[in-house]
Structure 1
Amino acid sequence: MTSRPARSAARPPGPLEPLLALDARLEGVWAWVQAQMRPDAAHDDAHLLRVARWTLRCAPEVAPVLAVAAALTHDVVNLPKNHPQRAQASELGAQAVQATLPALGFTPADAHEVALAVRDHSYSRGAVPQTPLGAALQDADRLDALGALGVLRVAGVGGQLGRALLDPLDPWAQAREPDDLTFTVDHFFTKLLRLEGTFHTPAGQAEARRRTRTMRAFLAELAAELEVDPPGE
Structure 2
Amino acid sequence: MRAPADLSLPSAPALAPLLALDPRLPGVWAWVGRHMTPDAAHDDAHLCRVAVWTRRCAPQEPPALAVAAALTHDVVNLPKNHPQRAQASTLAAQAVLEALPDLGFSPAEAGAVALAVRDHSFSRGAVPETRLGAALQDADRLDALGALGILRVATVGGHLGRALLDPADPWCQSREPDDQTYSVDHFFTKLLRLSTSFQTDVGRAEAQRRTAVMHAFLAQLGEEIGVPYAPMD
Q: Which TM class, normalised by the smaller chain length? A: over 0.9
Match of 2:100?
101
SS state at 1:184 partner: coil
Q: For the structure 1 residues 149 and 5, does the alpha-carbon distance in structure 2 shift closer, same or farther, using more than 3 Å as the test?
A: closer
Match of 1:90?
89
- How much does 1:217 deviate? 0.2
* Superposed counterparts of 1:57-72, under 5 Å: 57-72=56-71
CA contact (8 A) 2:171 2:230 kept: yes
SS state at 1:41 partner: coil
Unaligned runs of 5+ in 1: none
* C-alpha RMSD over aligned residues: 1.3
Distance 2:2 2:226 in 1: 47
SS state at 2:127 partner: coil
Q: Write out the 4+ residue segments of structure 1 that deviate beyond 4 Å after TM superposition.
A: none
- How much does 1:106 deviate? 0.4
Unaligned runs of 5+ in 2: none
- How much does 1:200 deviate? 1.0
- How much does 1:130 deviate? 1.1
SS state at 2:147 partner: helix
What's the % identity of the aligned pairs?
Answer: 71
Match of 2:39?
40
- How much does 1:6 deviate? 5.0
SS state at 2:14 partner: helix
Match of 1:16?
15
- How much does 1:201 deviate? 0.8
Which whole-Å deviations, capped at 9, do the CAs of 1:163-196 have from their partners, x for residues lacking one?
1101111111222221111110011011101101
Distance 1:31 1:81 in 2: 25
Match of 1:199?
198
CA contact (8 A) 2:5 2:36 kept: no
Distance 1:115 1:20 in 2: 19
Distance 2:24 2:3 in 1: 22
Match of 1:185?
184
Q: Does residue 1:78 correspond to 2:58, yes or no? A: no
- How much does 1:140 deviate? 0.2
Q: For the structure 1 residues 103 and 141, does the alpha-carbon distance in structure 2 shift closer, same or farther, using more than 3 Å as the test?
A: same
* Superposed counterparts of 1:81-230, under 5 Å: 81-230=80-229
- How much does 1:231 deviate? 2.4
Distance 1:65 1:170 in 2: 48
- How much does 1:5 deviate? 4.1
State which drifts further: 79-88 or 175-184: 175-184
CA contact (8 A) 1:166 1:184 kept: yes
Q: How many residues align?
A: 231
Which whole-Å deviations, capped at 9, do the CAs of 1:92-120 have from their partners, x for residues lacking one?
00010001100111001110000010000
Match of 2:29?
30
CA contact (8 A) 2:119 2:137 kept: yes
Distance 2:21 2:230 in 1: 44
**TM-score under structure 2 length normalisation:** 0.96
Q: For the structure 1 residues 218 and 6, does the alpha-carbon distance in structure 2 shift closer, same or farther, using more than 3 Å as the test?
A: closer
- How much does 1:41 deviate? 1.8
- How much does 1:227 deviate? 1.0
- How much does 1:83 deviate? 0.5
CA contact (8 A) 2:100 2:110 kept: yes
Distance 1:229 1:24 in 2: 53
Q: For the structure 1 residues 147 and 6, does the alpha-carbon distance in structure 2 shift closer, same or farther, using more than 3 Å as the test?
A: closer
Distance 1:194 1:99 in 2: 35
CA contact (8 A) 1:4 1:35 kept: no
**TM-score under structure 1 length normalisation:** 0.96
CA contact (8 A) 1:41 1:160 kept: no
CA contact (8 A) 1:3 1:35 kept: no
Distance 2:41 2:190 in 1: 15
